[in-house]
């Protein structure tokens, strides 16, 4: 089992939006490294953090579960879509997505600012300088430590 951190801009799709629909596909990935993570490393049942990026208070706001294998991202085929990519076709898809299920919102969201204050977490990928991957794996120790932070009294 692997643990994941998945970023999205809440203006586009937030943990609240996922809560409303229950399950949704995580589409729009247009980075080969992230695609390969989804294809090669993710498994059904893997837990994931929902991270809000590019917003007022960036941080981890909720928990999800991966509920599908990687499969073709059909939004790449649609010229109407923002993330349209003509190189990808139904016959030969380039981009993949997975389905994610809402688990719960965190009682105490763990902000990026707080993540940076804990020496235990300095190795986390998203805290590394210049990291831009929107989906990153994290080790159980980091996962568990963050859950501890989220469970504390505010």
24 bridge partner residues = 100
Write out the DSSP string of 22-70.
Answer: SEEE------HHHHHIIIII--TT-EEEEEE-SSSS-EEEEEEEE-S--
Residue 36 or 45 with smaller CB distance to DNA:
36
Query: Is residue 130 a contact residue for DNA (CB under 7 A)?
Result: yes
Residue 6 or 150 with smaller CB distance to DNA:
6
Residue 68 neighbours by CB under 8 Å, 6+ apart: 25, 44, 98, 99
Query: Is residue 79 a contact residue for DNA (CB under 7 A)?
Result: no
Q: From the CB of 150, what's the least distance to DNA, in Å? A: 17
Residue 108 or 131 with smaller CB distance to DNA:
131
Query: Is residue 14 a contact residue for DNA (CB under 7 A)?
Result: no
Query: Is residue 78 a contact residue for DNA (CB under 7 A)?
Result: no
Q: From the CB of 96, what's the least distance to DNA, in Å? A: 14
Q: How far is CA 95 from CA 19, 80, 83, 134, in A?
A: 25, 16, 10, 14
Angstrom distance (rounded) from CA 99 to CA 66: 6
Footprint of DNA on 44-73 (CB under 7 A): 53-55, 58
Q: Which stretch binds DNA (CB under 7 A): 67-75, 94-102, 110-118, 144-152?
A: 110-118
Query: Beta 47-52 vs 23-25: how paired, if at all?
Result: unpaired
- Which stretches of the chain bind DNA, using CB under 7 A? 7, 9, 30-33, 53-55, 58, 112-113, 116, 126, 129-134
């Amino acid at each position: 089992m692997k643990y994941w951190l998945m970023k999205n801009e809440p203006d586009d799709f937030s943990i609240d939006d996922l809560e409303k629909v229950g399950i949704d596909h995580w589409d729009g990935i247009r980075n080969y490294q992230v695609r390969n993570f989804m294809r090669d490393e993710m498994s059904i049942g893997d837990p994931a953090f929902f991270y809000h990026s590019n917003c007022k208070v960036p941080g981890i706001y909720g928990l999800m579960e991966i509920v599908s294998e990687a499969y073709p991202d059909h939004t790449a085929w649609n010229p109407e879509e923002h993330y349209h990519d003509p190189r990808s076709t139904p016959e030969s898809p380039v981009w993949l997505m997975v389905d994610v299920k809402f688990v719960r919102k965190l009682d105490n969201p763990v902000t990026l600012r707080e993540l940076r204050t804990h020496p235990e977490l300095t190795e986390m990928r998203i805290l590394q300088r210049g990291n831009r991957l929107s989906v990153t794996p994290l080790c159980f120790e980091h996962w568990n430590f963050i859950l501890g932070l989220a469970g504390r009294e505010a």
